[in-house]
Structure 1
Amino acid sequence: MGKFKQEDHKLTFRVSEDILLELPEEDVMYFSERKITKAKPVVLVFSVEEDGRIEKIGFVEFDLRVLNRNAYITYYVSPVWRGRGLGKLMLKKAFDFAFRELNLHRITAEVYEYNERSLKLLEGLGFHREGILKEAKYHDGRYWDIIILGMLRENWKDR
């Protein structure tokens, strides 16, 4: 859903299979980039060799905003590999890739307030808290805040 197409200097926006709207070009700036582009996420899968076999330990996904040169991240470390510093190593390598190869300007993370390990990890890597979505996550019978964190390319360079 939500795809822009330019035909003969008219800009159209597909809202759904049945609905197509024409928009003046100057109104495009009011739409989220996710509605304009269909950039595929970049997923880095990390593995280690153990006892002669390759074991996947986790992944880092970048949900790209190519026009704005930023991405939202999702990451995961398999439970058997946690507590060994591998999540930190994965993220360091992924951020190097994102800023050097993908040429990103910014990386954004949304972390549920109860995920204290993730908050500590990201802040230890140079992310800063930028905002809170109050009671935006329902889990285990209650509402929790979502904490927005960000890191700019210049802050990563300074590390």
Structure 2
Amino acid sequence: MIMEISDKELLKIESDDLKYFSETRIIDIPRRVVLNFFESIPIGFVTFNVRYFNRNAYITYYVKSDMRGKGYGKVILKKAIDYAFDEMNLNRLTAEVYEYNEISIYLLEKLGFVKEGVLRKAKYSQGRYFDIYVYGLLKDERR
């Protein structure tokens, strides 16, 4: 698998998947580092919204729908975690995930992220409010 460093994602998020992302995905945020992943085609990305002074980044990840269920998510996220801690010299990664995104919750926990809090009824989607779970991973806790 090939990994390319960039300041933008090469894949557009499919409209059915927008419900898994916060409104910050609509706004171009400075301080982003993007890792795009390919086989023969782009399969996904990981974006770090970096807080340099605190050596922390908010992490967002995505795997194209037709590539899911094949283990790419775990591989991509693990490579990105290693890159963040080993190359970017970060001390912490933070992830926010919506309560209904069970696959993402499972993946984060499998890779060592710890659930640190809940933003109650903070996500509005399809006429309902949902909780946002906040996960964190420290450099010395990674698996």
Specify the TM-score bucket, using the shorter chain as the normaliser. 0.7 to 0.9
State the match for 2:33 in structure 1. Answer: 42
Q: How does 1:148-159 map to 2 (within 5 A)?
A: 148-156=134-142, 159=143
State the match for 1:86 in structure 2. Answer: 72
State the match for 2:129 in structure 1. Answer: 143
Aligned residues: 115
Q: 1:76 aligns with which of 62, 75, 85?
A: 62
Asked if the contact 1:105/1:153 (under 8 Å) is kept, the reply is: yes
> In structure 2, what residue type is equivalent to 1:85?
G
State the match for 1:62 in structure 2. Answer: 48
State the match for 2:110 in structure 1. Answer: 124
Structure 1 consecutive aligned stretches of length 4 or more whose deviation exceeds 6 Å: none
CA distance, structure 1, for counterparts of residue 49 and residue 30 of structure 2: 8
Following TM superposition, by how much is the alpha carbon of 1:64 offset from its aligned partner in structure 2, in angstroms?
A: 0.1
Instruction: Name which structure has the greater RCO, CA cutoff 8 Å, separation 6+.
Output: 2
Q: Alignment partner of 2:53: what SS? A: coil
Q: What are the ranges of 5 or more consecutive residues in structure 1 without an aligned counterpart?
A: 1-37, 50-54
So what's the TM-score if we normalise by structure 2?
0.78
CA distance, structure 2, for counterparts of residue 94 and residue 74 of structure 1: 10
> In structure 2, what residue type is equivalent to 1:108?
T
So what's the TM-score if we normalise by structure 1?
0.71
Following TM superposition, by how much is the alpha carbon of 1:85 offset from its aligned partner in structure 2, in angstroms?
A: 0.3
- CA RMSD, aligned part only? 1.0
Q: What fraction of aligned residue pairs are identical, expressed as a percent?
A: 57
Following TM superposition, by how much is the alpha carbon of 1:39 offset from its aligned partner in structure 2, in angstroms?
A: 5.3
